[in-house]
Structures are given as C-alpha cells and as structure tokens.
Chain A
Amino acid sequence: MIPESHYTSNEKRILQAVAAVNNQISVMVQSLLKVDGAGRIKSTAGNIQRAKQMQKAIMKEMTQGAFKDEMNSLIGTFGKIPDYATEAFQEVRLLPEFGQADDEMVRIMANDTLNEVSAMATQWAGNINSAVYAGAIAGTPRKELLKQAEQLLIGHSDVRGRPMVNYVQTIVNTRIAELDTLMILRKGDELGIERWRYTGSTIRDSREWCVDHAGKIFTKEEIEEWRDKKWNGKKAGDPFVTRGGWNCRHGFSPVLVEAEEKVIEGKPEGGQKTQEAKKPVKAKAKPAAKGKTLSRRQMLSELKQDIAKNDADIRYPDDDNDGLPFVRFNHTSGAKRVTRTQKNRAGRRLYGNAELNGMNDEAAAIVHGELGTLNALADRYNVPRLRAMRTMEQRGVGASMGDGVLSMNRRTFNGRAIPRTAEQAADDMAKLKLQLDESREAIRTGRDAAAAGGSAAIKEFNDKIKKHNKLADTINEINQTIDLPVSNWLPDDRSRIRPYTASGYHDNGVDQIRSTLLHELGHHVHQQYAVSASAYQSNSPYVEGVIARLFRTKKARVSATEYGDQDADEWFAEGFAMFHNNLEHLVEPELKELFHKIEKGLPL
C-alpha cells in the first residue's frame, strides 16, 4: 500500500509547481500590461497586442519548462510501486517477484498520467489566456485579473471555483493508487491469493462506501459485484482498480485462507447504507426481450408502438376551439414567431410519433432501455406517459420537454453514449480534423469535374459531401464527450461550485443520459399533473404555481446544481432527476415532500 506520506508529498509538490506557474504569469501580467492611474489595464491596441503575445508564453509556461519537468519527476515516483507492493505481501510472509512486464506496466501508466496532466494544463492555459485577453480588451483592474488567474490555478479565498491544482492532485494520486492496486492484484494472482481485505486509512472525507467496507474481507467474485453497485464518487472501470473512486486511498491487501478468522460477506450488511437501497425507483435498463439483443429497427418499432399507444391517453387536454389535441409549447424551433395555427400544426404532427434520427446505436439503445422507467414513473406520478420522441440539434440544450413531447439533442446523447477521456478526445479530434480538411479540399476542387462528369460523377460527389458532413458531426460530438471528474459536492459543503446539471454527478454515459431523461420527465410531471384543460390552455398548471412559491422561499440557498438555481421549473426537474437516479441525498427536503404529495395525490 502506498503510505499516506507519498500522497501528501505529491499534493505538496503539485501545489508548489502550480504556484510557481502562477507567479510567472503574475510577473508577465504586471510587466507587460500597462495600467491607468486607477489600476485598470489600459484597453489600448498595444496592450491587446501584448496580451496576444502573452498567450504563447503562458501556454509554454504551463506545458513545457519547469512545470513539465516537475511533473515528470513526480510521476517518476511511480517506480516505487513494486516496493510498496512487496511490503503489502510481507504481512502474509510472501515475496512477489517482479519482471520486465511489471516495469512496462509502470511505464505505461506513468506515461498515461503524464499525458492526462498535460491535457489538463493545456486546457487551463486556454482558460487563463481567455481571461488575460478579455481583461486587456475590457480594461479589467489588474488586481482582479491576477486574482482570476490565481483562482484558476491554485484557488483564491475570495473567488469560488475548483482550481487546476485540485484536478492535477486528483489525477496523480488516483492513478498512482490504481497502479498500486493493479500491481498487488497481479502479484496476488501469481501467488494464488483468493481473498482480499479492503484496507486504508479512513479520513474525514472518506466515502460512506469505503467506511462501510474498510477492514472487511472479500473474494474476487464479491469485489466483481461492485461493478453494479452505485455510490457517490464512484469511478467507472474495474472495481479492483478503481476501488472507492476518484482520490480513493483504499486498496486491497492479501489474506491467506488459513489466516482468516472470519470471512465477512462482501455484500454490506443489510445494504441500507448504499444509495442503491435508498432510491425509490431503480432506473434500470429495460431488458432486451429475454436476453436477445434488439436491432435498431426493432428498438425503434417498440418505441413507436409504445408512444402511439400513449398518445391516446385522455388526460392530454384538447383544444376548446377545435376539439383537437391542445398544443401549449412551441415545437417549431426553426421559427422565431409563430401563429396559433402554425404552433398547432407543428405540435400535432409530432404527437404519437417516435424517431431517433441521427442518434448513434449506443445512445438509441440507452433511450430504448429507459422507456420502461419513464413509463413507470409517469404512472407512479399520475401523469400521462410520453406521447412523442424526437431528436434535434440546438446549441446548449441537451433535451427539452413540452406537451409530452421529448426532444433529445442527438449530439449530446451520441457524445455521452461513447465517452472519451480528455486525452483520447484530443487525439481523435486531431486525426479527424486532418481528414476533414482533406475532404473539404477534395470537395472544393472536385465540384466542377463532378458537374461535367454525368450522373455517376454527381452521385460520387454527393456521397463525398455526405461523408464529409458525417465526419464533421463526429468531431462536433467529440467536443461533448470529454469525461471530466465527477463532482462530490454535498449539501453541507461550503463551496458553491457544483456541476451545471445533475449529469455532472455521474461518471458514465448511461447514468448521464438517464439523468437528462429523468430531468425532462420532471418537467412533464409539473406540466401535466392534475392539470385542468383550462389551466393548461392558460399556461398555468397548478403544480407550477406551487413550485414557484417553494422556489421563492429557497432562493438564497443553493441547490445541488447550477441549473437548478436558474428557475423554479428547472429546480424541480433537477431535483426529480437526482431523486430517481441515485442522488436522493442531494435533493432538498421540501422537494422530496412535494414529490411524495404528488405521488400520493395529497393536497400540495
């Protein structure tokens, strides 16, 4: 096991290295950007030019030179892992042997970690560059700009936000702990170890999961079952390697069978402390017809049948004017202003239809799998089931809901269904952008030849365009796939830095997509619950009034997501998504009470 002193030494060294970068940037800002008498950066052409020049220097400072050397040296300490692993086996009087393959494993994981840190530094250099450039243009007080840079890098007591130093510390310490565990398990396999004790010091920040499991003994199979368990801060991947999750300092130590006094069941006693046991409805993927994998066409056909059936629900109000289904929301996202007739036509053509155009198979399978959960929750909250599903592309909108029509941004869903690390994303992006440039050039130069070459040549040209546009879509989607660290924010934290939406608490695409779908279902509940035709037609469902009142009273208090603080309806929808996706502990009591009242049909 890695001693605690190794982790704290890493943290200290990273802090010093990032602080040194901050000092360098501070010197650059103070020496290059001229200020006026009031200490504001003069917004002159000269200053803007110098701010531009500084961008290169800042990027260099953060991705090369002393910072990179220090990170290289720090990650060189990964070489101590075989020694730590040897110590773990000394307790059971075994001596593992290490060979070239082990050295190679250490080398690969050290390199991967270094790449992740470099990607993080590049990203943060971009953030600082934007702040410096904006400061030069806007004439920001120099003191404030320096404070912004300090906040971005090492944190500032007056400014909220998670700084780069925290991310780098998390990455380095998580990776080294993962390598240590991996090495111990590998040697354990070679030595025939079958049981493992979950060990490590329990500190103030330890996860409930780790506290519950610390000191207990597990077989490999029991640890394997952790894959399906849920807990706050869990990290996707092999549970032997990822253990409690990001920053977890627990690990496994070998246990000899004859030395066991008592084998404790791997499953936590009673299971009541795990979040899985807490959640009222387990959002579980719908099984694909008794173990069979459905084709895309079969999935779509099932969705269509379900949706068409739901559309017949008489609780969806009709329009008093023409007796046809009422359309409250504007579904014509392509038009800024619409007439009542246009609005009706656009909505009514969607009702009863389901399509997943442009959604990749992975995302489509997740959506298909979640339909059962959405239907079950609609029944539970006494609202009609969804009556339409469609895909859309709208910047900054992951999905939307209105009139029982669920619109999903195909780019967001596609990206989440195939998550990548920041490093993978950068690699993929660079390769694809090269291909894109080549393909664009070929289309530009080939246009005239295609026009002159007859129908076959035109067809080939059109295929090239289609292929190009698909490639561009892929690149666009990769932008949305970067797998950022999962937030561990808790309601009693003093920090106001929370994820933008509830998806930020989940570390995998399935949960993130589920979170978005549940959020939208939350909107559906406040739009449709016990709504009279007249209230619906006058845009004032009863529940929405109740939520607005509750939201006004909670206003000063932060909720678990930034989006939830935006307005009453989003607060309700975010709470609903968390309540039904394993994050009940992040939902405010008054919202839980409201969900309960709606579910039971009690007066609100």
Chain B
Amino acid sequence: MTRKEVFKKAKKIVDQLPADTIWQLDVLRVELDPDDLDDFAWFYERATMKLADI
C-alpha cells in the first residue's frame, strides 16, 4: 500500500469510527515508513477525541 492509500483508508476509518477503530489504525500503521508516523498520529488523536465525544 502506498502512503496515500494508507492515509486515505485511515481517514475513512476515523470518519466511520467502528468499534475496533484503534486496532484497525494499528494494522494500517504497519504499512508506513517510520518517517510518516508523526503525520499518522493525527488519526489516533482524532479518533480518541471522537471516541471521547469531544
């Protein structure tokens, strides 16, 4: 999967917010180069905020 595809999928996951959102993000994160992890962290933050209803 390319970086773009990973980010696109992650956005979809965070938008839909399934019960296993964080797990799905974990699985997706495996595909990334370590340099992209800081950017990817946004999805975890966003998901956490949404799950906490903020």
Interface flags, B2-24, vs A, CB<8A=1, else 0: 00000000000000000000010
CA distance A472 to B31 in the complex (A): 10
State how many angstroms separate the Cβ of B10 from the closest Cβ of chain A: 12
The answer to whether A395 touches B39, judged by C-beta atoms less than 8 angstroms apart, is yes
B29, A411: Cβ atoms under 8 Å? no
Residues of A with C-beta under 8 A to B31: 440
**Contact of A411 (CB < 8 Å), options: B30, B38, B44, B49:** B38
Contacts of B49 in A (CB 8 A): 332, 334-335, 346
Indicate if the CB atoms of A443 and B41 lie closer than 8 Å.
no
Chain B, residues 31-46, CB within 8 Å of chain A (1/0): the string is 1101101110110111
Q: Which residue of chain B lies nearest to A447 when distances are taken between CB atoms in the complex?
A: B27
- Residues of B with C-beta under 8 A to A186: none
A478 to chain B: closest residue by CB:
B34
Interface class of chain A by DSSP: helix
Q: How far is the CA of A349 from the CA of B32 in the complex (A)?
A: 31
A334-B52 in contact (CB<8A): no
Q: CA A394 – CA B35 in complex, angstroms? A: 12
Instruction: Kindly identify which residue among A345, A392, A440 contacts B30, using a CB–CB cutoff of 8 Å.
Output: A440
A403 to chain B, nearest CB (A): 15
Question: Which bucket holds chain A's interface residue count?
Answer: 20 to 34
Partner of B35, one of A334, A444, A462, A476: A476
Interface residues of A in 277-312 (CB under 8 A from B): none
Q: A334, A396, A469 — which one has the most chain B CB atoms within 10 A of its CB?
A: A334
Query: How many A-B pairs with Cβ below 8 Å?
Result: 62
Is A465 an interface position by the 8 A CB rule? yes
Q: Report yes or no: A443 in contact with B38, Cβ–Cβ below 8 A.
A: no
Q: Which residue of B lies closest to A473 (CB)?
A: B37
Q: In the complex, A475 Cα to B41 Cα: how many Å?
A: 15
Contact A468 B54 (CB under 8 A): no
A-B pairs with lowest CB-CB distance, top 6:
A334-B45, A334-B46, A393-B41, A395-B38, A475-B34, A476-B34
Q: List 27 A-B contacts (CB under 8 A).
A: A332-B49, A333-B45, A334-B44, A334-B45, A334-B47, A335-B46, A335-B54, A342-B54, A345-B54, A346-B49, A346-B54, A349-B54, A392-B45, A393-B37, A393-B41, A394-B38, A395-B38, A411-B38, A444-B30, A465-B27, A469-B29, A472-B37, A476-B35, A476-B37, A476-B38, A479-B34, A479-B35
Residues of A within 8 A of B (CB): 332-335, 342, 345-346, 349, 392-396, 411, 436, 440, 443-444, 462, 465-466, 468-469, 472-473, 475-476, 479
* Beyond A334-B50, A468-B30, A469-B29, 9 extra complex contacts between A and B, CB < 8 Å: A334-B49, A349-B52, A394-B41, A462-B23, A466-B26, A469-B26, A472-B30, A473-B37, A476-B35
